Amino acid sequence: AGALDNLPGDWVGDDDGRFSPMTTWTQDELKTMVGQAALQYVVRGQLVGVGTGSTVNKFIDALATMRDQIAGAVSSSQASTERLRALGIEVFDANEVGELAVYIDGADEIDPRGYMIKGGGAALTREKIVAAQSRQFVCIADASKQVQCLGRFPLPVEIIPMAAQRLVRQFAALGGTAQLRMKDGQALRTDNGLQILDVHGLRISDPLAFESEVSVWPGVVTVGVFAHQRAHICLLGTPQGVQTLQFAQAL
């Protein structure tokens, strides 16, 4: 089988052996491409850390093809756990297992250093926990997630409900407008039973310092800046195919 056989759509080759797509990929197809490409980072015989979101769903679907070659998964959300189990992949509690070789997850934004904004799917706390338990973070994203500076996507922050109004004022002092995330007319509840603030209008030029600062505000459970848990690698879905961006060596 050729290298292009697993990629959706038609490809054309030039005289120098370079291939380019004949079609324009939809965002969904780009997600499928990076989800499949992430399989190469899954270590046979071991557990894999699994993130949350529509891109990760493509990865989970691809992972099902090698379910007999892995020990199982540690999941970052109830949604991913359900999908993994439905496809016959065993899911372990993070406390039952030790360090993981690799964590595969999407992002809402990723900058040129591998720093990310995450939490669009409200799973940021468990995502950060599983990422911290893993030696390597492989981010899978379509090219629309690439930014020069974090902050265009509203920053998700998981909070203790009692602190909501105080935190809205603290973000306002940084120039941000924080809104409680709603679902079906009520404040959304995360898998942890907590709430999410989405903070608009920030420009996060120093993600490490920002994450350190906001993480200690009383009532903040997790801020959706992943700088201390940045990506080691990003598999980026582009019109020219999957690009591999390396930001750091695995731990």
| Distance of closest approach, residue 168 Cβ to ligand 5RP, in angstroms | 21
Q: Which of 109, 120, 138, 5 is nearest to 52 (CA)?
A: 120
CA angle 37, 45, 95 (to 5 degrees): 100
Q: Which of 198, 196, 214 is nearest to 206 (CA)?
A: 214
Told to check if 197 binds ligand 5RP by CB under 6 A, we report no
Whether residue 115 contacts residue 226, with contact meaning beta carbons closer than 8 Å, is answered with yes
| Distance of closest approach, residue 68 Cβ to ligand 5RP, in angstroms | 26
CB under 6 A: which stretch of 3-11, 99-107, 187-195, 229-237 binds ligand 5RP?
Answer: 99-107
Told to check if 53 binds ligand 5RP by CB under 6 A, we report yes
Whether residue 142 contacts residue 28, with contact meaning beta carbons closer than 8 Å, is answered with no
Among 35, 49, 106, 176, binds ligand 5RP (CB under 6 A): 106
Distance CA 135, CA 37 (A): 19
Beta bridge partners of 39: none
Told to check if 7 binds ligand 5RP by CB under 6 A, we report no
CB under 6 A: which stretch of 42-50, 52-60, 82-90, 232-240 binds ligand 5RP?
Answer: 52-60
Footprint of ligand 5RP on 119-158 (CB under 6 A)? 119-124, 127
Beta bridge partners of 104: 50, 138
Residue positions annotated with a catalytic role: 127
Told to check if 55 binds ligand 5RP by CB under 6 A, we report yes
CB under 6 A: which stretch of 1-9, 115-123, 158-166, 239-247 binds ligand 5RP?
Answer: 115-123
Nearer to ligand 5RP, 21 or 119 (CB): 119
- For 215, phi and psi rounded to 5 degrees? -60, -25
Beta bridge partners of 117: 109, 225
Q: Give the binding site for ligand 5RP (CB under 6 A).
A: 51-55, 105-108, 118-124, 127
